[in-house]
Amino acid sequence: NENDSYHRTKSKTASCNTYSFKKDSKTFSFIDTPGLSDTRGVEQDDINIGKIIESAENCSSLSAVLIVIDNNSKNDY
């Protein structure tokens, strides 16, 4: 996706993407979402939160939420 192109000083993930795989008889799905503290500002964070909520609501069930924080980031969390 051209919106997800790599650039070290700009936010990378622009949309929610679901990746699924099967293990035995179970299907596991992971949703890669845009992060918060977007380089485009607080308004973009609000848009991203809406995208994250919509993706979560479209899941048949939600078992866990993983939060990944870039320890090299200069943002305060």
pLDDT digits (tens, 9 = 90+) for 14-51: 889 999 999 999 989 999 998 888 888 999 999 999 99
- Cα separation, 35 vs 55, in Å, equals 14
For residue 22, the enclosing domain spans 2-57
Is residue 13, in this structure, part of any structural domain at all? yes
Supply the pLDDT for residue 48: 93
Whether residue 77 is predicted with pLDDT greater than 60 in this model: the reply is no
Query: For the chain, what is the mean pLDDT?
Result: 82
Burial class (CB in 10 A: 0-12, 13-18, 19+), 21: exposed
How many structural domains does the chain have? Answer: 1
Whether residue 56 is predicted with pLDDT greater than 80 in this model: the reply is yes
Is residue 32, in this structure, part of any structural domain at all? yes
Is residue 67, in this structure, part of any structural domain at all? no
Supply the pLDDT for residue 75: 58
Supply the pLDDT for residue 60: 86
Is residue 29, in this structure, part of any structural domain at all? yes
Is residue 27, in this structure, part of any structural domain at all? yes
